Amino acid sequence: MNLRSNRPGFILMFTMMILAAGVVLVGAVALRVHNAIKEYRFLIARERSKIAALGGVELARTRLTHIDDKKKDEEARVWLLAHNDIWQTIPLPDAEENARDRIDMRIALEDGKIDLNAFFDPKKKVFVFGKTEEPNPFWDAVSRWVATSSPAVGEGEFFGFLKAALKERKEPLIDFTEIFSAPEFNKTYVSLFPTPPRDKEGQDAIIVSGLADLFVFAPFFDEKQCMQPPFLSNALVNVLELKPLPQEKDQREQWAKEFVKKKLAQDVQWPTAWDQLLASTYGKKYQELTAKYSQITSLFCSAARESMVSVISYGFVGGVTQGVYAVLRPYQSKDKMTAYVVTRLYWI
């Protein structure tokens, strides 16, 4: 009698247990599906951001390619000077749905940066950065700049790390990043690649710099390492205490047009040409510059040439960021065109 009277309650409890187990099972499945969808969306966004970053490099290659004739060469030179070391933002096609989806890219002329191989003595097979017993104002200034872009590096430490890293090396660098195989650079974090400037409310744009702003990553082995003063990067302008070039688009383009009109000689002599062509731009005469930074002025190219170009490109898609740093080398094709080929690629 008691068993019969308790049976309906037992069935109810059993039913509730099954329902509870079902709820737990459905919840677990739903959670796994939700996580799988999030992971799937992330993977899709990551691949799309990679494609967007590479698209920035391809856009740069397309824009740099030009026909080799006088007019086209001048147009290409104006465009390069107007866009050298300036960030550009390109909205992606679906930017109306997601305004953050974009490509941030920057083109920089490598002949406006420091090539460490320029300090390699092929006869002695050592890197020479100046006399050990004398102060070195240029490398001291470089160390101060690195300390501002990489706060983990103490002021004045970078030059010491660099000398120690190259002390035993008997051949030029193939890639700038080889210096980081030295134990000296394992002690601290050094920023390699810059990130695009971002405006904060009520503040100026924040620019995060990296060593790629200042140094050549892939040396140009079949030509003498030298620098072209009109191409100086913003970082090197800062190190040399020069007045920065106009950063606003229209002003920079106007400066580039006026400079190209001056018809830079093929065998330019910078000790005299600097004061005529660049003293007003950089706010310093050649004699004043070379008195303090002769290690750099001694590297100025005596002949104009096509510069290697670096492109840093970030793809922002669906909240995922992927960056790439590419080094492009110019070459003359058979159909009388100057094109650029990727010689080095670094994923960021």
Virtual torsion, Cα 55, 325, 76, 332, nearest 10 deg: -90
Q: Tell me: the pLDDT tens digits for 227-275?
A: 899 999 999 999 999 999 988 889 999 999 888 887 777 778 888 889 9
**Does residue 150 lie within any of the structural domains?**
yes
> Rg for the chain (alpha carbons), in Å?
28
Provide the pLDDT for residue 1: 45
Mean pLDDT of all residues belonging to the chain: 83
Backbone angle region of 14, left / alpha / beta, with phi > 0 → left and psi within -120 to 50 → alpha? alpha
**Does residue 295 lie within any of the structural domains?**
yes
Q: Tell me: the pLDDT tens digits for 37-47?
A: 777 787 888 89
Q: Tell me: the pLDDT tens digits for 122-176?
A: 888 888 887 665 678 899 999 999 888 887 787 778 888 898 888 888 999 888 8
Distance CA 317, CA 42 (A): 10
Bridge partners of residue 87, in order along the sequence? 106
171 Cβ contact list (under 8 Å, min separation 6)? 120, 125
**Does residue 312 lie within any of the structural domains?**
yes
Query: Does the pLDDT value for residue 206 go beyond 90?
Result: no
Distance CA 57, CA 105 (A): 8
Q: Which domain holds residue 224?
A: 40-347
Provide the pLDDT for residue 66: 78
Residue 273: which H helix or E strand, with range?
helix 270-277
Q: How many domains would you assign to the chain? A: 1
**Does residue 12 lie within any of the structural domains?**
no
Q: Tell me: the pLDDT tens digits for 90-100?
A: 988 765 555 67
How many Cα atoms are found within 13 Å in the side-chain-facing hemisphere of 170? Answer: 0
Distance CA 157, CA 60 (A): 35
Residue type, 40: Y
188 Cβ contact list (under 8 Å, min separation 6)? 150, 152, 153, 157
**Does residue 19 lie within any of the structural domains?**
no
**Does residue 137 lie within any of the structural domains?**
yes
How many CB atoms neighbour CB 315 within 10 A?
A: 28
**Does residue 8 lie within any of the structural domains?**
no
Provide the pLDDT for residue 202: 44
Distance CA 184, CA 180 (A): 8
How many CB atoms neighbour CB 298 within 10 A?
A: 11
Q: What is the mean pLDDT of residues 196-221?
A: 72
Distance CA 140, CA 158 (A): 9
Contact by Cβ (8 Å): 88, 106:
yes
Q: What is the mean pLDDT of residues 210-217?
A: 91
CA 130 to chain centre: 28
Bridge partners of residue 195, in order along the sequence? 208
Distance CA 245, CA 83 (A): 11
Coil, helix or strand at residue 115:
coil
pLDDT band of 199, cuts 50, 70, 90: low
**Does residue 18 lie within any of the structural domains?**
no
Distance CA 177, CA 211 (A): 10
